[in-house]
A and B are shown apart, each in its own frame.
Chain A
Amino acid sequence: MSFEWIQIPYALLTLLIVFVYGVFMTTIIRKMGARAGGRYGIRLYQTFVDLAKNYALRSHISHGIMFYLGPVFRLTGGVGLILFVPTIYGSVMHQNFAFAGDLVLALYFVFFGTLGMALGAGESGHPYSAVGITRGLSQMTAAELPFVLAVFAVSLQYQTLSITEIVAAQQGGFLSWTLFTNPIAVVAAMIGFLGTMMRSPFDVFLAPQEIPIGPPTEFHSAYLALMQTNRILFPIAKIVIYMNLFFGGATNWPVFFLKVFLIYLVSALVGVVFPRFRVEQSIRFFLIWGLPLGILSILIV
């Protein structure tokens, strides 16, 4: 697919839609968590207000150049992921900058933000940040393993590295989704998915009761707002990959909204009722359950 200038405004439009949708979805998920506890929870527009307030705070303190760049990297990870993954299959407007080998680039972006965050939080010098980063990186690595293996399985299955082609291969009713053609890979990937969504039981690196929210402990005002923005975009971007690889992609926005919401709900529902694992317990979990499944899925293919 050749590059055209019109793609840039189209991609930005996609970004905007995803952002607004993400804000409401995050809010609704939080409200659902609150309902489980019997509360009504935050207002629908609360996330917007929080963001505006954080951008509007008057003072900022820096701990060095990497401290600035941490949230920026993190946001770049989220935005980049959205930009290079085809959000709506078959739509010229929302094809973004998808190209033949975009799966590899997407995998890179999934990791990119975390690493930037690690550098930034390390620069802040707070011991809890350091503890959180150590835990976060080790757990992320373990959680990414089954996911990456599942992705390999899928790309072997369809003999391509282009997300668009993978989606194309899954069109035509649900039975052609990877979910049904290669269920083991999907299970392995979903295990990895739980691990990277920053929810219980795999949120030990945030763990407010142990290390006051871990890596972002020192981040405030606009830095925090950047990270919040990313917190809204990044899960959706990640879910888009999952949706494209395993759940047949989406051909229009309503289907997109529905699928993303349902996939997000999986992690939210698990998160409400489970306490968190310790870091070595969660790594063990991924190595014992996720890794063999991932390898198995490749072998089957």
Chain B
Amino acid sequence: MKDEKYTPLPRRPIGLDREELKKRTVTAPDGQTFEVDPIRDYYCQDAPKAHQRSYIKIVEDFFNWCRAESLWILGYGTGCGAIEMRPLMTPRFDAYRYGIQWRPTPRQANLLMISGYLSVKTLKRAIRSYEQMQNPKYVVGLGSCTINGGMYWDSYNTIKKLDEYLPVDLYIAGCMPRPEALLAGFEDLKKIIKAGGGEGANKYAENFEWYKANQKSVIKDWDMPDYNW
């Protein structure tokens, strides 16, 4: 559907050609010089691998109970649903009572809330955040727009089906879902985890090729290695 007459205007280089991502020599203030290859320094290329559960059932059950009762949410508001996360932390709804807490860095979080529509640009960041989280990890899609596009079904910049790109454990429908719905959703997620169903990270590792192909079909300027931890 390219217009014949339209000649694209020049853009700054995108993708792996970007200036910051090129190899360069750095001179430290003390006069030492060393090579920096940002791609290798910032990311790790290894593909993820599936992790075994404990062999003893009761241990695994105990661990699952712990995981369910201590959900640490990554404090990343990807869309407008983030505005209903704030009341959850405050007196009216107080999700801390249920073992739900917020962490500022993906390393320490277990639960990624996709709060609403994901634009392509945010999807890239969400994938990175997800991959930096530690196994086992869970994804909850919040709002109709993560399920089937919702209100933005014909938008050129929002994805329509989140589970094509990330392994989703639970969807909470609504536009936007009320805090009560979120609390009920968390309780459902706990049930899933306690029953041993929260294996999204292993699913991601096992179907890694498929997820990557889907992600790359949407993100046009893929400027990072396939997996970053």
Contacts and interface: CB of A to CB of B under 8 A. Distances in A.
Nearest to A209: B104
Given A37-B91, A42-B96, A53-B66, A59 B108 contact: no
A39 B90 contact: yes
A50 B90 contact: no
A220 B107 contact: yes
Given A39-B91, A49-B66, A219-B108, A58 B136 contact: yes
A8 interface: no
Contact of A43 (B63, B99, B229): B99
Contact of A42 (B63, B97, B107): B97
Given A43-B99, A212-B105, A220-B108, A49 B134 contact: no
Contacts of A217: 105, 107
B107 A58 contact: no
Interface in B45-79: 51, 62-63, 66-67, 69-70, 72
A201 interface: no
A43 B101 CA distance: 12
A225 to B, nearest CB: 10
A123 interface: no
A98 to B, nearest CB: 37
A221 interface: yes
B94 interface: yes
Interface string B101-145: 100110110100000000000000000000000111000000000
A180 interface: no
Interface in B127-169: 134-136
Interface string B31-46: 0000000000100100
> Which range contains the number of B residues in contact with the other chain?
20 to 34
A125 B41 CA distance: 9
A46 B134 contact: no
Given A39-B94, A217-B107, A219-B108, A57 B136 contact: yes
Interface string A111-134: 000000000000001000000000
Interface string A188-199: 000000000000
Most buried by B among A37, A39, A53, A216: A53
B134 A219 contact: no
A173 interface: no
A272 interface: no
A38 B94 CA distance: 9
Contacts, number: 80
A36 to B, nearest CB: 11
B105 A56 contact: no
Query: A-side binding surface: helix, strand, loop or mixed?
Result: loop
Given A49-B69, A217-B105, A58 B91 contact: no
A104 to B, nearest CB: 34
A215 to B, nearest CB: 11
A34 B69 CA distance: 19
Contacts of A144: none
Interface in A212-248: 212-213, 216-221, 224
Nearest to B97: A40
A37 B90 contact: yes
A46 B66 CA distance: 9
A81 B220 CA distance: 55
B67 A53 contact: yes
B99 A49 contact: yes
A58 B134 contact: yes
Contact of B101 (A42, A52, A59, A208): A42
A53 B70 contact: yes
Interface of A: 34, 37-43, 46, 49-50, 52-53, 56-61, 125, 208, 212-213, 216-221, 224
9 closest residue pairs by CB, A with B:
A38-B91, A212-B104, A220-B107, A58-B51, A53-B66, A59-B135, A56-B63, A53-B70, A52-B66
Given A42-B96, A221-B134, 18 more contacts: A37-B91, A38-B90, A39-B94, A41-B96, A41-B97, A50-B70, A53-B66, A53-B110, A56-B67, A58-B51, A58-B136, A59-B51, A61-B44, A125-B41, A216-B108, A217-B105, A217-B107, A219-B107
8 contacts: A38-B90, A40-B97, A41-B97, A50-B72, A57-B134, A59-B135, A212-B104, A220-B108
Interface of B: 41, 44, 51, 62-63, 66-67, 69-70, 72, 90-91, 94, 96-97, 99, 101, 104-105, 107-108, 110, 134-136, 201, 229
